Structure 1
């Protein structure tokens, strides 16, 4: 009689003698299977029942599997004693980490990088913020790869504005997800993480301007002064957006010494919170208005002139609707302002702001692609051919300039976080 040791139903992975997948019936378990008859040896089936951790009494069952498996399951021993980071209420964290009307679910203000990663799998007030931009990153990557299979981005210069745009709509949600993940490592890290987030958003506004300038520009504006200088002005707007948003973000700097907390209140966000919010909002509204002026004009001509909206224009209008909703959610802090503490984990405005922004970007992408394809013949006949300098070159220059701006604002924070800097500052005050 064939000897089998059955422990618990698991996924059959690579290493089993049969095909990869779920094994049948009660045989869905961890077991040893005989090797070849010539050798007469037994080989382990490398099934990894990590999902047991999420079952009821799953940790105890996983420990039993590890004991009876005799090393066949090669899981880290620390996995059994894994503890998720502790969460705090608003009065337990420094002011710089506090969010308006969010009472609980805060992570430790000096978390390690591993704690930050683990917190993305733990329900806290940043979890959905992380995932609502991390998952859309892969959706936009999938759309980008699909376009790569149908378009010649290397040799067809007409597609270069779309290439720049698709790269940036993949970058900005990923950067935002990373910023929300690692923003609880320290006060300085929080600022620097969001500096990169603001920089990615300002570059996204440049990508919008490049794609709009070549694909969405109204017929009567093609080859006008605005059309010829559209990308150059957008580069300036990108720098303005990054600089102003970083300036409005710099606020409370913290210095932890033993159990005491020292603060430096010479920064904008603490002394003038409303002004800081207005500056940050304006920093993103200005590039948005400039980028969408051609689109507003096309929409007005179509609706007031009695024209029939195209599929591209319909997608653009949906994008504008979600863009206004995004701005409203960012500034209004609803619904958590109506019921503080009720929406700490699910449903607060920043989560809704992320979702609205991603949905709006989806419609914008559909509109840009539709305009690019439907207007290609006319634009190539009447408009200027996209150049390397006006597309990829403009992106490279903007990336360098924005990184320089981020570096300028980050340098004082990095110096402040040095171990000896706090003691030198205290000595000077004495």
Structure 2
């Protein structure tokens, strides 16, 4: 069937605008003004984005199955103790789905690329909050339960999601409504100072991760003696921490493709490995949370903070609303700005020319 469909052609790095360039990736680029149909068809051909998409799209269904299991079998709506796990699983469904959609449709235009990844960043920051809500409910070591830090933990995590989404969006666009240029959407911080934008993005996501894991790091690495919650779940937490650190390393270093540009364009480049390690880390994180929830439930119900709508579902809803507001504020200058002539005249890839040229 697919043999009867003409798949979109791919290009080299010199044939696409700089805003679409990936560090040390030389070939396999899709047309920078692809139609939505072309973007979907590209899922079934080998480009430098194909595995980025599938490595997040397929796990979405696994986490969705786990979410449905909690809702239907554990009857989450009747048991507030499972609400934090529900929020974590929901965030674990949203972030890979948002990522796969962003990678799929990011070549429709430079504007679409920015907006797609704004949603990707918002989904990741929501995942950070989902982790924090679940950690607050199930992971805090016994001696920290009900402490001042524990009571402040979720509100600070909500603030961190706002900081995370704002910084990551800023790394692409700068200040909304101030950085838009009248003839192009590529004169943004990411285009002018790509290394600074990359560093800023790393900080934007590393900061909430490190904060969220303060109780876990203390529990696993520092705490000794009574009240340290040293149980069989800790090994699962160690697997998650190891994979999370590897994920951050791959994102920041662009290895292995930086060692051999062009050799890992289609299979094996850092972003694909980053996706795989991130999903595996989330899997072990989920297993650890489920196990902590079951093992510690009697003690936590008696001694820990009560799980309420405000510190669980309410915090999640508030975070989603704030993230959407931030994304809209950053997207409006792109949506309301003038459309360049090339985009007006031709939304389809050009068949005859190898050069793509400048485009919005």
Partner of 1:227: 150
Query: Are 2:267 and 1:346 aligned?
Result: yes
Match of 1:320 among 241, 255, 265: 241
Query: Are 2:32 and 1:109 aligned?
Result: yes
CA contact (8 A) 1:107 1:184 kept: yes
Partner of 1:268: 189
Match of 2:251 among 325, 330, 335: 330
Deviation by residue 1:174-202 (Cα, 9 ceiling, x = unmatched):
11000000000000000000000000000
Find the aligned partners of 1:137 and 1:264 in 2 and give their Cα distance.
Answer: 32
SS at match of 2:76: coil
Query: Are 2:285 and 1:368 aligned?
Result: no
Partner of 1:281: 202
CA contact (8 A) 2:71 2:77 kept: no
Partner of 2:89: 166
SS at match of 1:105: strand
CA shift at 1:215, angstroms?
0.6
Query: Are 2:322 and 1:401 aligned?
Result: yes
Q: Which runs of 5+ in 2 are unaligned?
A: 345-360
CA shift at 1:374, angstroms?
0.5
Q: Report 1:285-324 matches (<5 A).
A: 285-301=206-222, 309-324=230-245
Partner of 1:56: none
Aligned length: 339
Find the aligned partners of 2:118 and 2:240 in 1 and give their Cα distance.
Answer: 25
Deviation by residue 1:357-400 (Cα, 9 ceiling, x = unmatched):
00000000001111111110001111121001111111111111
Deviation by residue 1:273-300 (Cα, 9 ceiling, x = unmatched):
2211111000001100110000001012
Please tell me whether Structure 1 or Structure 2 has the larger radius of gyration of its CA atoms: 1
TM-score, normalised to structure 1, is 0.75
Evaluate the alpha carbon distance shift between residue 158 and residue 279 of structure 1 in structure 2; reply closer, same or farther with a 3 A threshold.
same
Evaluate the alpha carbon distance shift between residue 275 and residue 376 of structure 1 in structure 2; reply closer, same or farther with a 3 A threshold.
same
Query: Are 2:359 and 1:413 aligned?
Result: no
Partner of 1:16: none
CA shift at 1:302, angstroms?
5.6
Partner of 2:134: 211
Find the aligned partners of 1:141 and 1:265 in 2 and give their Cα distance.
Answer: 36
Deviation by residue 1:54-97 (Cα, 9 ceiling, x = unmatched):
xxxxx6xxxxxxxxxxxxxxxxxxxx4x2000111000000000
Find the aligned partners of 1:102 and 1:110 in 2 and give their Cα distance.
Answer: 19
TM-score, normalised to structure 2, is 0.89
The structure whose RCO (Cα within 8 Å, separation 6+) is larger is: 2
Partner of 1:248: 171
Structure having the larger proportion of residues in helix: 2
CA shift at 1:417, angstroms?
4.9
CA contact (8 A) 1:101 1:340 kept: yes
Deviation by residue 1:327-373 (Cα, 9 ceiling, x = unmatched):
00001101111111110000000000000000000000001111111
Q: Which runs of 5+ in 1 are unaligned?
A: 1-49, 54-58, 60-79, 256-261, 424-430
RMSD over aligned CA atoms reads 2.3
Query: Are 2:62 and 1:142 aligned?
Result: no
Partner of 1:387: 308
CA shift at 1:146, angstroms?
2.6
CA shift at 1:265, angstroms?
6.0
CA shift at 1:266, angstroms?
4.2
Bigger drift between 90-99 and 145-154 goes to 145-154
Find the aligned partners of 1:371 and 1:190 in 2 and give their Cα distance.
Answer: 39
